[in-house]
Chain A
Amino acid sequence: MSNYTNSPCAACKFLRRKCTSDCVFAPYFPPEEPTKFANVHRIFGASNVSKILQEVAPHQREDAVNSLAYEAEARLKDPVYGCVGAISVLQRQVLRLQRELEETNADLMRYASCLGGETTSAYGGRRG
Chain B
Amino acid sequence: MSHVKHIHKGSLERFLDLLLIALVVLMTLKGGTSGACAACKYQRRRCAADCPLAPYFPAEQPKLFQNVHRLFGVRSIVKILERLDETQRPEAMKSIIFQSYVRDRSPVHGCLGVTQQLQYMIWLAEEELKAVNAQLQLYRSQNDGQNQQNHNQMMINELGVGVDNKQQQDDVTSQLDLGMGLNVNNNQSNVVAPFFSPLPVSETQQPQMSYTYSCSEVNNNGYSPPAYNTDSGKEIMTNNNNVWGVHNRFLYNDNNGGGFNNQNESCHEMKSNNGVMGIQSQLVNLQMASNHQQQEDEDDPHEYDEIHQFLEIIDDRQSFADSKEAYASSSGETLKEQIDEIGENELRSAATCFSLTSVN
Contact = CB atoms under 8 A, between A and B. Distances in A.
Contacts of B133: 104
A91 to B, nearest CB: 5
Contact of B73 (A48, A68, A78, A93): A48
Interface in B255-275: 257, 259-267, 270, 275
Interface in A83-116: 83-95, 97-98, 100-101, 104-105, 107-108, 111-112, 114-115
A59 B304 CA distance: 28
Contact of B136 (A51, A82, A87, A104): A104
Contact of B176 (A64, A78, A79, A119): A119
Contact of A70 (B75, B107, B153, B260): B260
B284 A86 contact: no
A125 interface: yes
B356 interface: no
B14 interface: no
Nearest to B261: A77
Contact of B259 (A73, A94, A97): A73
B53 interface: no
SS of A interface (majority): helix
Contacts of B234: 85, 88, 92
Interface in A1-30: none
Given A104-B133, A119-B176, A80 B140 contact: no
Contact of B150 (A36, A43, A81, A122): A122
Contacts of A33: 276
Contacts of B214: none
Task: Bin the interface of chain A by size.
Answer: 35 or more
Contacts of B216: none
Nearest to B293: A57
B95 A84 contact: yes
B122 interface: yes
A66 B122 contact: no
Contact of A62 (B146, B173, B283): B283
Contacts of A87: 111, 114-115, 118, 237
14 contacts: A66-B280, A70-B257, A70-B260, A73-B259, A78-B263, A79-B92, A82-B111, A83-B111, A87-B114, A88-B228, A90-B118, A95-B235, A111-B136, A118-B150
- Ranked nearest first, the 8 interchain pairs of A and B with the lowest CB-CB distance are A85-B263, A97-B125, A111-B139, A90-B118, A67-B112, A88-B234, A84-B95, A74-B260
Given A47-B73, A60-B287, 12 more contacts: A36-B276, A63-B284, A71-B99, A71-B111, A73-B260, A84-B111, A88-B234, A104-B136, A105-B132, A111-B140, A122-B149, A122-B153
Interface of B: 70-73, 75-76, 80, 83-84, 88, 91-92, 95-96, 98-99, 107-115, 118-119, 121-122, 125-126, 128-129, 132-133, 135-136, 139-140, 142-143, 146, 149-150, 153, 166, 169, 172-173, 176, 228, 230, 234-235, 237, 241, 243, 257, 259-267, 270, 275-277, 280-281, 283-284, 287-288, 291
